Amino acid sequence: MTQPLEGKKVALAVSGGIAAYKAVELLRLLVKEGAQVTVVMTESAKQFVTPLTFEALSGNLVYHEIFGGQSSASMEHIRAAENADLMIVAPATANSIGKMAQGLADDPLSTLYAAFAGPVLVAPAMNDKMWDHPAVQENIRTLKRRGVGLIEPVAGELACGTVGLGRLAEPPVLLEAVRKYLLRQSDLAGLRILVTAGPTREPIDPVRFITNRSSGKMGYAIARQARSRGAEVTLISGPTHLDPPFGVTLLNCQRTVEMAQRVFEHLPRCEVLVMTAAVGDFAPDTVYKEKIKKKDKETLLLKLHPTQDILQEVAKQKTGQLIVGFAAESENLLQSATEKLKRKQLDLIVANDISAPGIGFQSDNNQVTLIDRNEKVESLPHLSKMEIADILLDRILTQLNER
């Protein structure tokens, strides 16, 4: 019988903390599941566990110094680590997290991270006060924004003798996270996904426009995660400040008509459309050629007309594509979202309560409810947009498999 992680290559990066002993157990579990593991250690990790322990258990040389010492044969192992399917940092100290967030590269762990193109998981372990420190939390947010998966530390007795939040998650939990990432890795291969993101922008004159507070983060997270799981992704984006996700075809647009045009151009060659864009519902009747002057004006009346509802039109034009919509609601969340699901003939809608503080627009996190076409409701906990993206993609895949 093949083992679950047969043929998968994992780079296990260990930084210096008392929890380094748990990395030994994680390595044992990974090897037992059939993974090929290359271990990378920082100098301080060697104070807790010797490279020999990891070498013996992994059957591979350990990458533990960037200069001198190690033979040229070890270059192969550095390359093996760089070519791994996944990198997991466990335990991740505040120092290593800081270096990763800032792009510093002066030890085997941070050097590997800077050179690593695949998915990365981080399992922090530190004193509870360090974990709470704004600098550490800021670094964690930076890594999450970049798509790094966080395996949350747990509460319990810490090395310093106190009790608090900062213990490394237990090895079976770490193994489960690795499994989830690795097995998801190419589950969307061959699928063509069209994603819209961000706000639209309707011009009033050459300097002014009507827009909304959408940051585009949700759509970019979906595009990035879908790509990392093997999908071919086209991202149609209104104006945002976000970097385009690696490997995704990005098409920029401003006005609703432009977004609609791009959607209808690309929809026929896609299997899935995820419409996260906050499309402006109204546009000025007149777009002034010159800047509107305030002189001699007591009031300025702008006449607006409704824009095209893209999803409403998609409902007419679709030829079997799976369509996902979003619903931004400030009241009657479930009722309004369900009504939109039906009216726009969607397969799934993601309902978002925009009145709740600290989530939704601009935020890196959200708390959403999924409603499928059978009106089955699934309320997700407060999660990062990356995590929501992965769960949404899981549900899309389930629906496609049920067809």
What residues are labeled active site?
A: 160
Residue 36 interacting with ligand CTP (CB under 6 A): no
Q: At closest approach, how far in Å is the CB of 139 from ligand CTP?
A: 33
Residue 325 interacting with ligand CTP (CB under 6 A): yes
Two tokens, residue 208: 């002014």
Q: At closest approach, how far in Å is the CB of 303 from ligand CTP?
A: 18
Nearer to ligand CTP, 236 or 248 (CB): 236
- Spell out the residues 6+ positions from residue 283 whose beta carbon is closer than 8 angstroms to its own: 202, 210, 255, 256, 304, 305, 307
Q: At closest approach, how far in Å is the CB of 356 from ligand CTP?
A: 15
Q: Is residue 234 a contact partner of residue 195, using CB atoms and an 8 Å limit?
A: yes
Nearer to ligand CTP, 149 or 238 (CB): 238
Residue 43 interacting with ligand CTP (CB under 6 A): no
Q: Is residue 227 a contact partner of residue 147, using CB atoms and an 8 Å limit?
A: no
Q: Which of residues 222-261 bind ligand CTP (CB under 6 A)?
A: 256
Q: Is 163 helix (H, G, I), strand (E, B) or coil?
A: strand
- Of 175, 130, 116, 182, nearest to 151 by C-alpha is 175
Residue nearest ligand CTP, Cβ-based: 310
Residue 310 interacting with ligand CTP (CB under 6 A): yes
Residue 151 amino acid letter: I
Residue 327 interacting with ligand CTP (CB under 6 A): yes
Residue 311 interacting with ligand CTP (CB under 6 A): yes
Residue 220 interacting with ligand CTP (CB under 6 A): no
Q: What angle (nearest 5°) sits at the alpha carbon of residue 226, between those of residues 225 and 227?
A: 90
Residue 326 interacting with ligand CTP (CB under 6 A): yes
Q: At closest approach, how far in Å is the CB of 155 from ligand CTP?
A: 38
- Of 338, 331, 330, nearest to 373 by C-alpha is 338
- For ligand CTP, the binding residue among 340, 348, 370, 387 (CB under 6 A) is 340
CA–CA separation, 315 and 281 (whole Å): 18
Two tokens, residue 388: 């929501």
Q: Is residue 371 a contact partner of residue 390, using CB atoms and an 8 Å limit?
A: no
Residue that has been written with the tokens 């050459």 in this structure: 206
- Of 138, 293, 276, 119, nearest to 198 by C-alpha is 276
Two tokens, residue 4: 């679950």
Residue 366 interacting with ligand CTP (CB under 6 A): no
Q: Which range, of 102-110, 118-126, 143-151, 303-311, touches ligand CTP by CB under 6 A?
A: 303-311
**In the 8-state DSSP scheme, what is residue 326?**
E
- For ligand CTP, the binding residue among 49, 277, 283, 386 (CB under 6 A) is 277
Residue 275 interacting with ligand CTP (CB under 6 A): yes
Kindly list the residues in this chain that would bind ligand CTP in the complex (CB under 6 A): 256, 275, 277, 279, 281, 307, 309-311, 325-328, 340
